[in-house]
């Protein structure tokens, strides 16, 4: 018969346990700025939330008029700013173990004293590890929402964005439009020139789409050779203008393949979201508009009219 060892309960050291309990209480209730800062930062992995906490704690000790944080995470710019600036500034680069985790700038109307800048450095030295963890978390999170080939947001990111737009539209009556564009006869490019060339065309198309849209818009790789563009606060007439501009930019692509150059065109479907319309219904109407553009001979734009049912 196999012997199974038993685990016996061992009484803890009462003095050490009491010390632990007191230390935990002191840590939670300590008015010390560094202890309070690290305690607050440890409660979240949201970089935006952490910057808000950092701004509060620093401003409590060293008043400033504006704090700005900048960092590029997974090829996307992250910017956090609070307050209004002044003529005097001090800048800090956040580095830990040879890695860069963004830059901070503080500005105000009064010149910063040496002791104040030293104080900011002490606070940042206590904050750098939680900030590093938040940056790493955001890097992983953004990688999961980014298309590996083109570097633009993927379908999962698009689904999240459409859900947010739908919610905001229902609450505030905001007009949002969606464009679906599909590269024309893309399969023929893959069949004739191979997938390496096809992948290069997709990368070029993604780059042209980003050039064609406005700063308020966002482009997503919907799947295969199909892309989606979300246009906040945009009606169908303005969305059609953007779609036609997208077609012009995509049509400028030329890929040299020896004796011939590959030329690329795209078809676009446009639909403005109706009030109380679900995300799936909105997407289905946009897809229907794209189908009509394909049926009309490709390299054109078709709009699914935003007519609310009676």
For the record, the structure tokens of 302 come out as 């078709």
Query: Which of these, 229, 221, 225, lies nearest to 178 by C-alpha position?
Result: 229
Distance separating alpha carbons of residues 284 and 270, to the nearest angstrom: 11
- Tokens found for residue 171: 């609450």
Long-range CB contact pairs, 96-102, < 8 A, 24+: 96/128, 96/129, 96/132, 99/132, 101/71, 101/128, 101/131, 101/132, 101/135, 102/69, 102/70, 102/71, 102/78, 102/131, 102/135
3-state secondary structure (DSSP) of residue 234:
coil
* CA pair distance 83, 104, nearest whole angstrom: 14
Q: How far apart are CA 94 and CA 304, in angstroms?
A: 50
Angle at 58 (CA atoms; ends 55, 62), nearest 5 degrees: 130
What is the four-CA torsion angle of 192, 195, 196, 202, rounded to 10 degrees? 100
Task: List active site positions.
Answer: 225
Q: How far apart are CA 221 and CA 152, in angstroms?
A: 7
Could you give the C-alpha distances from 174 to 63, 116, 215, 238, in angstroms and in order?
Answer: 38, 45, 18, 14
Q: What is the dihedral of CA 299, 261, 252, 189, to 10 degrees?
A: 50
């Amino acid at each position: 018969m196999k012997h199974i060892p038993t685990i016996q309960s061992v009484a803890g050291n009462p003095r050490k346990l009491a010390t632990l309990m007191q230390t935990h209480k002191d840590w939670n209730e300590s008015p010390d700025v560094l202890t309070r800062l690290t305690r607050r930062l440890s409660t979240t992995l949201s970089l935006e939330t952490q910057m808000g906490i950092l701004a509060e704690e620093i401003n409590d000790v060293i008043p400033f008029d504006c704090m700005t944080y900048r960092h590029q995470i997974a090829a996307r710019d992250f910017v956090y700013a609070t307050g209004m600036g002044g003529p005097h500034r001090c800048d800090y680069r956040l580095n830990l173990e040879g890695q860069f985790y963004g830059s901070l700038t503080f500005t105000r109307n009064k010149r910063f004293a040496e002791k104040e800048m030293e104080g900011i450095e002490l606070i940042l030295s206590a904050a750098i590890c939680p900030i590093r963890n938040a940056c790493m978390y955001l890097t992983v999170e953004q990688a999961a929402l980014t298309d590996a080939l083109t570097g633009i947001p993927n379908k999962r990111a698009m689904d999240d964005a459409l859900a947010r737009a739908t919610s905001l539209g229902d609450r505030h009556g905001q007009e949002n439009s969606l464009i679906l564009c599909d590269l024309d006869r893309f399969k023929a490019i893959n069949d004739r020139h191979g997938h390496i060339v096809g992948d290069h065309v997709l990368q070029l198309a993604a780059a042209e789409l980003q050039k064609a849209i406005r700063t308020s818009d966002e482009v997503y790789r919907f799947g295969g050779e199909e892309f989606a563009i979300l246009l906040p606060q945009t009606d169908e007439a303005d969305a059609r203008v953007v779609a036609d501009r997208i077609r012009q930019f995509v049509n400028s692509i030329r890929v040299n393949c020896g004796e011939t150059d590959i030329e690329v065109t795209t078809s676009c479907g446009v639909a403005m979201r109706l009030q109380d319309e679900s995300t799936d219904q909105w997407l289905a109407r946009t897809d229907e508009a794209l189908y009509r553009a394909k049926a009309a001979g490709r390299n054109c734009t078709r709009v699914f009219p935003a007519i609310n049912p009676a």
